[in-house]
Amino acid sequence: MKRPGLVSAAIVIGCILALEVACRYGFIRRSVIPAPSEIVSMLYMLLKSGTYNEAIRLTLSNIAISGLIATVLGFILGVIIHANDFLRRGVEPFLVSYYAVPTFIFYPVLVVIFGVGSAAIISIAVLMSVVAMITSTLNGLDRLPPAFPRTARVFQMSPVSTALLITLPATAPYLFTGMRLVISYSFIGVIASEFILAGEGLGYSISYTYNNFENSKMFALMLFIIVVVSVINSVLNNIDRRLKQRLQRGD
């Protein structure tokens, strides 16, 4: 592990130890936050018993579905907008200010359309994440070196071959950044929606345990989400860094 990584790890471990000490010696009441060791052992018990397996499966599959839809839809819309300058000039102001509008305000509309359940939740997550993929796609296509499509023409490549063998790999770092953002927004969209829109899933379970004063379970489920998000983010970061290192075009 490199030095900045060591510092990050030390900060996390230091905070956990400080929290453990504060909880054990009564500086923080157990009813507010249980000790980290207690949260970990509760999470182990919950996973072993399988009590929340269905909630975990549902939430992760909703995240995967919304991530997939937002990635594909965002990529296609990005390509269409990039190809049409007139459309782009009309759409760009909306893209720039999109995240100034909280997407959750549309949840009553989505409930009316899709009803309470996964469809409405996935729709909110897609609404939250699709624009990140559109802007990343536009960013990548804008930065495609003009010599690449010209080279493709010299090699007499068809538009499909050019897209698959040149445009896609050349824009891969930007598309991957978009995918990372889509996954992050999908997590936020799905779990937050489950708080208000669902009767199942991890978000609903956290809300349920909170309302029933089951603090240890609530923190255990929160820890589970934090661990899953951190692991996914770390893997994606690693791939992202490698892609950018390999595909950078410096002197």
Question: Rounded distance, CA 48 to CA 95, Å?
Answer: 45
Residues touching other proteins, count (CB under 8 A) = 23
Taking the least distance from each CB to other proteins, the nearer of 30 and 242 is 242
Nearer to other proteins, 105 or 154 (CB): 154
- Give the distance between the most distant pair of CA atoms in the chain: 74
- Smallest distance from the beta carbon of 155 to other proteins, in angstroms? 5
Which CB sits closer to other proteins, 97 or 156?
156
Choices 45-53, 100-108, 111-119, 156-164 (CB under 8 A): range interacting with other proteins: 156-164
Distances (CA, A) of 213 to 24, 26, 204, 206, 220: 20, 19, 14, 11, 13
Contacting other proteins within 133-152 (CB under 8 A): 145-148, 150-151
**Least distance between other proteins and beta carbon 234 (Å):** 23
CB of 153 to other proteins, least distance (A): 6
Q: Estimate the crossing angle of helix 85-97 against helix 118-142, to 10 degrees.
A: 120
Q: Say how far apart CA 22 and CA 27 lie, in whole Å.
A: 5
Angle at 45 between CA 42 and CA 46, to 5 degrees: 85
Binding of other proteins by 85 (CB under 8 A): no
Can you tell me the distance from the alpha carbon of 145 to that of 149, in angstroms, rounded to the nearest whole number? 8
CB of 150 to other proteins, least distance (A): 6
Q: Which is nearer to other proteins, 57 or 150 (CB)?
A: 150
For residue 203, give the 3-state DSSP assignment. Answer: helix
Restricted to residues 226-245, the positions that interact with other proteins (CB under 8 A) are 245
For the CB of residue 76, give the shortest distance to other proteins in the complex, in Å: 22
In angstroms, what CA-CA distances link 5 with 10, 36, 80, 210, 223?
Answer: 9, 22, 40, 34, 21
Q: What are the backbone angles phi and psi of residue 28, rounded to the nearest 5°?
A: -120, 130
Residues 158-177 that bind other proteins (CB under 8 A): 161, 166, 169-170, 172
- Does position 86 bind other proteins by CB under 8 A? no
Q: Considering just the CA atoms, what is the radius of gyration of the chain in Å?
A: 22
Least CB distance from residue 184 to other proteins, whole Å? 25
Tokens 């504060």 belong to residue: 22
Q: Work out which of 153, 159, 227, 242 binds other proteins, going by CB under 8 A.
A: 153
Establish if 157 lies at the interface with other proteins (CB under 8 A): yes
Binding mask 109-128 for other proteins (x = CB under 8 A): --------------------
φ, ψ (nearest 5 deg) of residue 23: -75, -45
Residues that bind other proteins (CB under 8 A): 145-148, 150-151, 153-157, 161, 166, 169-170, 172, 245-251
